[in-house]
Structure 1
Amino acid sequence: MYASICLYFHSHLSWFFSSTTLQASLVKVGHLNADTFMGFLAVSCMFAGAATSALQGGMFGLAGLLPGVYTQSLLLGQALAGLIVAGLNVLFLRGGVDLGFNPAFVYFITSCIVAFFALFAFVWVVRTPVMKYYAQHDTVESSPAKPKEYEIRRTFDAIYDQLLIVGYNFFITLLVFPSLTSKIIDHNQWLVQADGTNLFVPVFTFLLFNLGDVVGRTLSAYGNLFTAYNLRYAVLVRTLFVPAFLLCDVKFSIVSAVLFNSDLWYILFMILFSVSSGYLGAQCMMFGPQCADVRDRECAGTMMAFSLTIGLLIGSWLSFLLIAD
């Protein structure tokens, strides 16, 4: 088991590391024409995205073998990455000063460094006593070998409701963020810099969302406000955020009426929206593997990650329907 897991993660981390290294190198290459540069960049981003998706599914599958708090920690790490990127973006935009370096190059180099250390961190994790205990416990609980299709069907029957809930939660999130929320009109001009740069959207859309997401995922480790059953109702209530943001003063919205024309309404909605997204999403991902049989929890974790990705994908596709031509 350890050999197959190590081979899987080492190969995909190496794949991601190679892709991000290529992206960082392209930033410093000045003699490529625009079409060639974009072609190389698109291909490398595609490989990096595929490696990231494969790694995410595998990591959630591995975390599914462990108690729910480990899944929460994994989710929190993802949210922290988004918060750091949003914070650096505000820092780079603030004042429009010359930083003396290329932010894109720094971004990709940072990704390379993180991937490099993640490779060694994983080698350490699979050798820890807690990982060995739960991995061996899963092996002992397993029944005689049966077709993989049977395991997938059995796992799906046990967690199908959690799959739908987590997919819908992130569908709602991507339906309005960032395609709709990034087009909010700033009425008070609080964060206009001397050079004319307006930081309202970078701060109160991207930074605030990622901060609220981190807070929500952190709170999920300190108690469950919902059971695995009634969690669905809380997720469904998040649908109300769609008309709430549509009724704010948003450019190019398909709704012309403006009910909430104050920046404070938008900020309040964004706080509730981001915290609920992080909290309920983490709760779904924690409940999913726990609802499956012990022998199926690794498969359940991977399926939950797949459903999360599908929700993000569909939400991002349909988000364009909320924007008027």
Structure 2
Amino acid sequence: MGQTDTPQDRGYLVGIIFFILGLGTLLPWNFFMTASLYFQDRLNNTEFVNGTAVHKEYYFNNWMTLLSQLPLLLFTLLNSFLYQRISEAVRITGSLVAILLFFILTAVLVKVDLKDTDLFFSVTMATIWFINCFVAVLQGSLFGLVGLLPQKYSSIFMSGQGLAGTFAAIAMLISIASDVDPQSAALGYFITPCVGTLITLFSYLLLPRLEFADHHLNRRSNYEEGTTDKLLSGGVVVNGKLNGHANGTAMKAASRGSSEVEEQLELSLDEPKQVEKSRAKASVLEVFKKIWVMAFCVTFVFTVTLSVFPAVTVDVKTIFPGKWERYFISVCCFLMFNIGDWVGRTITTVVRWPRKESPLFPVLVLVRLVFVPLLMFCNVRSRFYLPVFFEHDAAFATIMAAFSISSGYFVCLSMSYAPQMVEPKDAETAGALMTFFLSLGLSLGAALSFLLRAAI
């Protein structure tokens, strides 16, 4: 098959599958985050100690954020160095199966009436910890995998991740508006990610059977074979004879003297070493030197985003009391952010500006810092130090829209640009490193959010 005979993505099946894979990677974080009301209802109870009522607070949101980001950070770092020891199929399939099992456990616990709230809290926190460990491995593997396909597939993958939050936000709205009892609503809520993860697993298993995916995902082995063939045809000694161009060069050199022939022979004998060197994957440090700008950008974007969302934005209050107050945060905070984030990621399938080489790219990423004070000056309650400059609901919604769209856009560009800045054989290393810095940004943002919230 010639180079021009590249298989086509018939029915756009590969694009659809990577969209589903992107969605599946962020289901755990989004569904646990938006279920905070359910968990707080089960955990925040009143105990009587010596006849005195004592309200026991577990600070679920704080612990959930911490235990979601720390394992993601730690295991992504481990994945960056050890991914070569475990095959890609085992890492991706095993992670999806584990995530599915933990979601099933969470759904089952909805129907289990645990009187010991400490036990329920411990099991939930352990579930969040372990499920995010597998998410880290899954994301690192899939980012490297999608980096082997044309750039638009990276954007499609990131768009799928953005839609995961929208799914969770819509599920939360349905739960709030539902007429069924809270327990049944919560059960239906957690069955949704179980089905989503199962579909994600089947989609990944289908991927190698598609000709277009098989062609591109085998680029690493094809790259190595192509490099070897090229060097061999350029003058590697084969079966004691000079092959290809080197043979022709040696024949011409014979008329110019035996010393030049010997020089050509020495160069030819050195070329197998060059072949071996080209086949070896670059070290993690070598890959990092090529992608450090993108690594900084994805870290900074998520640091800014997580520093105010949801810790600050969830405490913004509407100026219109009544029924709308019940839905305000669900719509203007969670749904608005997730739709905007998805729109930002989706835009990159059409527009990719600035280019990865442009110095303007990191500058625009730094400009997003302005959203931190803008959101802190919204109608956040309660507050002790800062004044309110943007009290109206429309002002908050507008800032949230720009905040979320820019977040999704720059994250998607950073993650899709990085694997393209290295050779195909190093794409997975670049993907794993970018996932680590993504996790670092999430962790830094989550830690910074406590200080920013206290400053209001």
TM-score, with length taken from structure 2 = 0.65
User: Which residues in structure 2 correspond to 1:118-137 (within 5 Å)?
Assistant: 118-137=200-219
SS at 2:180 equivalent: coil
Which residue in 1 is equivalent to 2:294? Answer: 162
Alignment deviations for residues 165-214 of structure 1 (CA, whole Å, 9 cap, x no partner): 0111111111111111111121133xx32xx8521111111111111111
- Note closer, same or farther for the CA distance 1:32–1:147 as it changes in structure 2 (3 Å cut): farther
Once the two structures are TM-superposed, the CA of residue 258 in structure 1 deviates from its matched residue by 2.1
C-alpha distance in structure 2 between counterparts of 1:28 and 1:262, whole Å: 41
Aligned residue identity for 1:236: L
Q: Which moved more, 1:108-117 or 1:228-237?
A: 108-117
C-alpha distance in structure 2 between counterparts of 1:253 and 1:144, whole Å: 63
Q: Which moved more, 1:126-135 or 1:20-29?
A: 126-135
- Note closer, same or farther for the CA distance 1:320–1:253 as it changes in structure 2 (3 Å cut): farther
- Note closer, same or farther for the CA distance 1:133–1:149 as it changes in structure 2 (3 Å cut): closer
Contact 2:312 2:453 in 1 (8 A): yes
Percent identity of paired positions between Structure 1 and Structure 2: 30
Contact 1:92 1:99 in 2 (8 A): no
Which residue in 2 is equivalent to 1:203? Answer: 331
C-alpha distance in structure 2 between counterparts of 1:68 and 1:169, whole Å: 21
Contact 2:145 2:428 in 1 (8 A): yes
Alignment deviations for residues 56-84 of structure 1 (CA, whole Å, 9 cap, x no partner): 11111111111222221121112111101
Aligned length: 319
Q: Are positions 1:59 and 2:189 aligned together?
A: no
Which residue in 2 is equivalent to 1:267? Answer: 397
C-alpha distance in structure 1 between counterparts of 2:388 and 2:182, whole Å: 43
SS at 1:199 equivalent: helix
Which protein has greater RCO, CA pairs closer than 8 Å, 6+ apart? 1
Which residue in 1 is equivalent to 2:381? Answer: 251
Which residue in 1 is equivalent to 2:130? Answer: 47
Which residue in 1 is equivalent to 2:451? Answer: 321
C-alpha distance in structure 2 between counterparts of 1:200 and 1:148, whole Å: 55
Q: Are positions 1:83 and 2:211 aligned together?
A: no
Alignment deviations for residues 75-121 of structure 1 (CA, whole Å, 9 cap, x no partner): 11121111011112122223x73357623222322222222222221
C-alpha distance in structure 2 between counterparts of 1:293 and 1:254, whole Å: 53
Which residue in 1 is equivalent to 2:250? Answer: none
User: Which residues in structure 2 correspond to 1:104-123 (within 5 Å)?
Assistant: 104-123=186-205
C-alpha distance in structure 2 between counterparts of 1:108 and 1:92, whole Å: 11
Once the two structures are TM-superposed, the CA of residue 124 in structure 1 deviates from its matched residue by 0.7
Which residue in 1 is equivalent to 2:306? Answer: 174
Once the two structures are TM-superposed, the CA of residue 150 in structure 1 deviates from its matched residue by 4.6
Contact 2:281 2:426 in 1 (8 A): no
Which residue in 2 is equivalent to 1:217? Answer: 345
- Aligned Cα RMSD in Å? 2.4
Aligned residue identity for 1:8: R
Aligned residue identity for 1:53: A
Contact 2:173 2:330 in 1 (8 A): yes
Q: Are positions 1:7 and 2:116 aligned together?
A: no
Q: Which moved more, 1:32-41 or 1:163-172?
A: 32-41
Which residue in 2 is equivalent to 1:102? Answer: 184
C-alpha distance in structure 2 between counterparts of 1:255 and 1:243, whole Å: 13
Task: Choose 1 or 2 for highest CA Rg.
Answer: 2
**Which runs of 5 or more residues in structure 1 are unaligned?**
none
Q: Which moved more, 1:35-44 or 1:269-278?
A: 35-44
- Note closer, same or farther for the CA distance 1:261–1:112 as it changes in structure 2 (3 Å cut): closer
Once the two structures are TM-superposed, the CA of residue 140 in structure 1 deviates from its matched residue by 3.1
C-alpha distance in structure 2 between counterparts of 1:168 and 1:149, whole Å: 28
- Note closer, same or farther for the CA distance 1:321–1:30 as it changes in structure 2 (3 Å cut): same
Contact 1:246 1:253 in 2 (8 A): no
Once the two structures are TM-superposed, the CA of residue 4 in structure 1 deviates from its matched residue by 2.3
SS at 2:349 equivalent: helix
